[in-house]
Amino acid sequence: MATNRTFTMIKPDAVKNGHIGAILQQINAGGFKIVAMKYTKLSAEKAGEFYAVHAERPFYGELVEFMSSGPIVAAVLEKDNAVADFRTLIGATNPAEAAEGTIRKQFATSIGENAVHGSDSDENADIESQFHFAGTEIFG
């Protein structure tokens, strides 16, 4: 299992608000190499599957609706210590609690519409990358 990769999505709010370029620039400036990327849109069914771990949470319906509301950018990123370093770069789930300079602090609008996803473990980075990309679409 890769420990130097993480999976990210630029969420529908950030795409809609015109932040794809600025977010990709910060990802690169943070030392991450993009090894897979696609501009796509999740169906409600796919969004529900991706966030199945949250199925019992009160915000699940809202999350699925939001994540399937418009296009996203999905990407696999490579860097030493990728999962933890990317979580630092994006900041806390709630932008009100995110550190200055983090991607969520700059671009998120609320705890739900928080601009970017970042995997929370190496295991999930692997699962989430495979959810979105075939092996032939990842260029490590």
- Contact between residue 77 and residue 119 where contact means Cβ atoms under 8 Å apart: no
How far is the CA of 131 from the CAs of 74, 85, 99, 103, in angstroms? 10, 22, 30, 24
Q: Is 139 in the site for ligand ADP (CB under 6 A)?
A: no
Q: Rounded to the nearest whole angstrom, what is the least distance from the CB of residue 8 to ligand ADP in the complex? A: 10
Q: Tell me how many residues contact ligand ADP (CB under 6 A).
A: 9
Cα–Cα distance measured from residue 2 to residue 95, given in angstroms and rounded to the nearest whole number: 29
Which one of the spans 32-40, 41-49, 55-63, 95-103 is the region binding ligand ADP (CB under 6 A)? 55-63
117 counts as catalytic: yes
63 near ligand ADP, judged by CB under 6 A: yes
- The token duo for 11 is 């969420």
Q: Is the dihedral of CA 8, 12, 13, 14 positive or negative?
A: positive
The bridge status of strand 72-78 relative to strand 5-10 is antiparallel
Nearer to ligand ADP, 7 or 32 (CB): 7
Instruction: Output 62 or 137, the one with its CB closest to ligand ADP.
Output: 62
Of 55 and 137, nearer to ligand ADP (C-beta) is 55
Span 101-120, contacts to ligand ADP by CB under 6 A = 111-112, 114, 117, 120
Q: Quick one: which of 78, 70, 67, 63 has its CA closest to 138?
A: 78
Interacting residues with ligand ADP (CB under 6 A)? 59, 62-63, 93, 111-112, 114, 117, 120
What residues are annotated to the active site? 117
